[in-house]
Amino acid sequence: MEIYNSDGSKAEICGNATRSLAGYLYENQIEKNQTFSIFSNQIQLQVEIIRNNLVKAQLPKPIFEIEKIPVENIFGLQMIIEESFEVEGFKSKLSTVSMGNPHAVFFVEDLEKIDVEKVGYLVENHKMFPNKTNCEFAEIKSENEIKMYVWERGSGRTKACGSGAAAVFAVAVKTNKISRSATVHMEGGDLFLECDENLERIWQTGPYKIICEGFYYYYYY
């Protein structure tokens, strides 16, 4: 699988696309097994068709070491977990993680007070992220419920982001905010996340829906 943002840049991975592609392949009997793998940027993603319109996908191991995300070492730390961060009047605690692609995660008291477009753009293009970053704002609702808004690298504000939900979940588990399974609520719908004890394996279960079909004619000039 190759995944492109709306500005034409390429992303390494995409949770939503992984579930959608898996569902499409299965429904069209291109893939007849209920469990199979999709490769994205040489990362193997195991998928399982739970039932029609519902897919469980294993996402890559979350990576917190900054040089692998990548993040510039402006804090003098190997990992950035809840470090004080400020940009143009927005003050919060920043955590950075790679889910195969880079994410900047902020847990906030009140999501509705966040100017997602303004802060998201500033964080995406902040000099500390050499490859830019996706940016998530999240609010803990209970020990197994999180609500989040996302600003995506290369795409701007979107209604849902699978790798973003996993990034938020990974940081929340690492900082003991939630248990090892949780629902992440987004504007576009919910995803169910779970992980093993060491936060090495993360699974994401969520829906897909075929909304239209067509032909794409690819011309070489």
Ligand X SMILES: N[C@H](CCC[C@H](N)C(=O)O)C(=O)O
Which residues are known to be catalytic? 14, 161
What's the closest the beta carbon of residue 163 comes to ligand X, in angstroms? 3
209 vs 221, beta carbon nearer ligand X: 209
Q: Which stretch binds ligand X (CB under 6 A): 110-118, 138-146, 152-160, 185-193?
A: 152-160
Among 60, 120, 162, 206, the residue binding ligand X under the rule CB under 6 A is 162
**Measured between alpha carbons, how far is residue 11 from residues 49, 76, 195 in Å?**
24, 27, 23
Number of neighbouring beta carbons within 10 Å of residue 17: 19
Q: Which of 112, 159, 166, 154 is nearest to 129 (CA)?
A: 154
Site string for ligand X, 115-134 (x = CB under 6 A): -------------------x
**Closest distance to ligand X from the beta carbon of 104 (Å):** 11
Q: Are 63 and 36 in contact (CB under 8 A)?
A: no
Measured distance CA(15)–CA(13) in Å, rounded: 7
The residue among 89, 64, 90, 94 whose CA lies nearest residue 79 is 64
User: Is residue 120 helix, strand or coil?
Assistant: helix
Asked if 204 is part of the footprint of ligand X (rule: CB under 6 A), the reply reads: no
Q: Residue 152 CB, nearest distance to ligand X (Å)?
A: 4
H helical segments located in the chain? 15-27, 116-124, 162-174
Contact (Cβ atoms closer than 8 angstroms) between residue 68 and residue 131? no
Q: What type of residue sits at position 97?
A: V
Which CB, 39 or 142, lies closer to ligand X? 39
Q: How many residues bind ligand X (CB under 6 A)?
A: 14
The residue (of 5 and 53) whose beta carbon lies closer to ligand X is 5
- According to CB under 6 A, which one of 20, 101, 204, 205 is a site residue for ligand X? 101
Tell me the closest approach of the beta carbon of residue 32 to ligand X, in angstroms: 25
Cβ count near 68 (within 10 Å): 11
Q: How far is the CB of 154 from ligand X (least distance, A)?
A: 5
Binding residues for ligand X (CB under 6 A): 5, 11, 14-16, 101, 134, 152-155, 161-163
